C-alpha cells in the first residue's frame, strides 16, 4: 500500500513538475521574442514617423521659401517699374511721391513706406509712418550694396525705426542715375496682382503727361 502511494505521489509530482516546465517553456517562448518584436516595431515606427515629419517640414519650408522668393521678386519688379516713372527722375519731389504712394499702397498693401535717397545716402523724400526724412544711410550695408549693384533686398532687420522690416532698394532711372528708390514691407501678401500696374499707369498719364 505504501509502495502504491509512493508511486502515485511520484507520478503526481512528476506531472506537476512537467506542467510547470511546459508553462515556463511556453512563457519563455512567448515572452522573450515579444520585447524584441516590440523593440523592432518601435524602432521602425519611430524612424518612419521621424522621416514623415521631416519630409513634411522640408516640404513646408520649401513651399514657404518659394512663396517668399515670388513675393520679393514681385515687389522688386514693382519698385523697378516705379523707379522708371518720368516724374520721379527729379529726386527730391516730396509732393509727387505723396501722390504716388497711396496708389502703390492700394495695389500692394505690404509696402509700409517709401523714400528717395541721393548718392550721399540722405533720404530727401519720404512717405510713411516713421520720422525718417533726412536720415543718412551712407554707412549702412544696404545702401553700399545698392550703390554698387543697383539692387538690394535685405534680410529682416530693425534699422532706424527699431521695428522688424524688410527693405528693397533700386537705383532710380538707370545705371548712371544718382538717386535710389527704397521701400520697406511688412511681409503681408498684396491683392490684385493682375491689375497691379493699372493705377500706376493711370496716375502716370495724369501726372507725368
pLDDT at position 67 is 79
The predicted model gives 154-173 an average pLDDT of 81
- Going by pLDDT thresholds of 50, 70 and 90, the confidence category of residue 162 is confident
Please answer whether residues 83 and 172 qualify as being in contact, where contact means their C-beta atoms are separated by less than 8 angstroms.
yes
Predicted model pTM: 0.62
Tens digits of residue pLDDT in 107-158:
788 889 999 998 899 999 999 998 889 999 998 888 999 988 889 988 877 7
What CATH architecture does domain 78-207 belong to?
2-Layer Sandwich (3.30)
SS3 state at 183: strand
Where exactly are the structural domains of the chain?
2-58, 78-207
The predicted model gives 157-178 an average pLDDT of 77
Residue 188 has pLDDT above 50, yes or no: no
pLDDT at position 127 is 92
pLDDT at position 157 is 74
The predicted model gives 9-30 an average pLDDT of 66
**How high is the mean pLDDT of the chain?**
75
Residue 100 has pLDDT above 70, yes or no: yes
DSSP per position, 128-149: SSS--TT-B-TTSHHHHHHHHH
Alpha-carbon distances of 197 from 100, 108, 127, rounded to whole Å: 12, 10, 20
Amino acid at each position: 500500500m505504501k509502495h502504491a502511494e509512493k508511486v502515485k505521489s511520484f507520478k503526481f509530482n512528476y506531472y506537476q513538475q512537467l506542467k510547470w516546465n511546459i508553462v515556463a517553456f511556453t512563457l519563455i517562448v512567448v515572452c522573450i521574442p515579444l520585447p524584441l518584436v516590440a523593440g523592432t516595431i518601435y524602432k521602425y515606427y519611430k524612424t518612419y514617423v521621424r522621416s514623415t515629419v521631416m519630409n513634411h517640414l522640408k516640404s513646408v519650408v520649401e513651399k514657404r521659401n518659394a512663396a517668399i522668393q515670388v513675393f520679393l521678386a514681385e515687389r522688386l519688379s514693382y519698385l523697378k517699374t516705379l523707379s522708371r516713372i518720368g516724374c520721379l527722375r527729379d529726386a527730391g519731389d516730396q509732393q509727387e511721391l505723396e501722390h504716388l504712394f497711396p496708389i502703390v499702397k492700394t495695389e500692394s498693401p505690404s509696402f509700409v513706406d517709401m523714400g528717395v535717397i541721393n548718392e550721399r545716402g540722405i533720404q530727401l523724400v519720404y512717405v510713411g509712418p516713421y520720422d525718417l526724412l533726412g536720415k543718412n544711410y551712407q554707412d549702412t550695408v544696404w545702401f553700399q550694396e545698392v550703390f554698387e549693384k543697383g539692387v538690394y533686398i535685405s534680410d529682416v532687420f530693425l534699422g532706424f525705426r527699431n521695428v522688424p522690416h524688410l527693405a528693397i532698394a533700386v537705383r532710380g532711372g538707370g545705371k548712371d542715375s544718382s538717386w535710389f528708390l527704397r521701400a520697406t514691407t511688412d511681409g503681408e501678401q498684396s491683392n490684385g496682382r493682375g491689375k497691379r500696374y493699372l493705377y500706376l499707369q493711370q496716375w502716370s498719364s495724369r501726372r507725368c503727361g
